[in-house]
Amino acid sequence: MKNALPIALVLLAAVLPLRAEEKAKVVEPKFDKAKALKEGYVSLFNGKDLTGWVVPKGDNGHWKVVDGVIDYDAASEAKGNKSLISKQQFEDFSLHIEWRFKKTTGLYPMPIILPDGSLKKDADGKVIKTPTPNADSGIFLRGAGRAQVNIWCWPCGSGELWGVRNNKSLKPEERAAAVPKCKADNPVGKWNAFDITVVGDRATILLNSRKVIDNARIPDMPPAGPITLQHHGGLNKKTGKYSPASSLIQFRNVYVKKLKK
């Protein structure tokens, strides 16, 4: 019995480095183009230019293709919409899209989203916010802002459905369904893969092969619409600095399959 504690400590010391190594391991997506095409997916991005996409009028080259990927610097000069929109419209569909943040910009006062969709508060009822490195973009399903799939650095992870979670008119279980079940994001600078299925007013989202949103209802989502890659944040004209929630992001391997009703 006297040797039990030292033996336990030795075993713990042997396990801890392994766990740290496993935590540090990052698995980036490996896309099988041939398999996707065989399953009925079609490419929305040719890897050469933005054919098939509507570039914001007056953008002035901020949405562009660099080294075979869609690249955005969050500095579109367009007067109105600054997001990139597919020319094709979709009803029910499955979307595979890979993305990565190039870097974060500044510290964002970041709250913690609880499983029920509310924000964590302190003993005085004030929302707890922690300055945290951040970047921010998203994907609008059927082109609707209220059907936004968030891409960000918040603790809950990407895949959150902002318009659903913040809709106070919905039932508690509907708002809770808009909160990712786990944080499946790879670190900033590494590639991630969304697999999003939209049927009717429901969405299921996998991030890096892990289900983060399961058949969540998105009220008032249009019956059809484009895929929109979101502009967010950008340069402050007075300071010349980026907002700490800017879409310094890249996309690649954008494939979609229309689903039969």
Q: Is-contact 53 84, C-beta < 8 A?
A: yes
In the chain, pLDDT over 70 holds for what percent of residues?
91
Question: What's the residue count for the chain?
Answer: 261
- What are the tens digits of pLDDT across the range 131-187? 999 999 999 999 999 999 999 999 999 999 999 999 999 999 999 999 999 999 999
Give residue 24's pLDDT.
56
Give residue 261's pLDDT.
77
Residue 250 clears pLDDT 70, i.e. is over it: yes
Task: Give the residue-averaged pLDDT of 205-228.
Answer: 98
In angstroms, the CA 129 to CA 111 distance is: 4
Query: Can you name the CATH fold of 29-258?
Result: Jelly Rolls (2.60.120)
Per DSSP bridges, beta strands 107-111 and 129-133 are: antiparallel
Residue 9 clears pLDDT 50, i.e. is over it: no
Residue 45 clears pLDDT 50, i.e. is over it: yes
Give residue 23's pLDDT.
53
In angstroms, the CA 44 to CA 49 distance is: 11
Residue type, 108: Y
Give residue 87's pLDDT.
98
Task: Give the residue-averaged pLDDT of 31-35.
Answer: 95
pTM: 0.89
Each domain of the chain, given as residue ranges in start order, spans: 29-258
In angstroms, the CA 58 to CA 72 distance is: 15
Give residue 5's pLDDT.
45
Using alpha carbons, list the distances in angstroms from residue 188 to 3, 33, 177, 181: 45, 25, 25, 20
DSSP string, 45-109: --SSS-TTEEPPTT--SSEEEETTEEEEES----SS--SEEESS-BSSEEEEEEEEES---SEEE
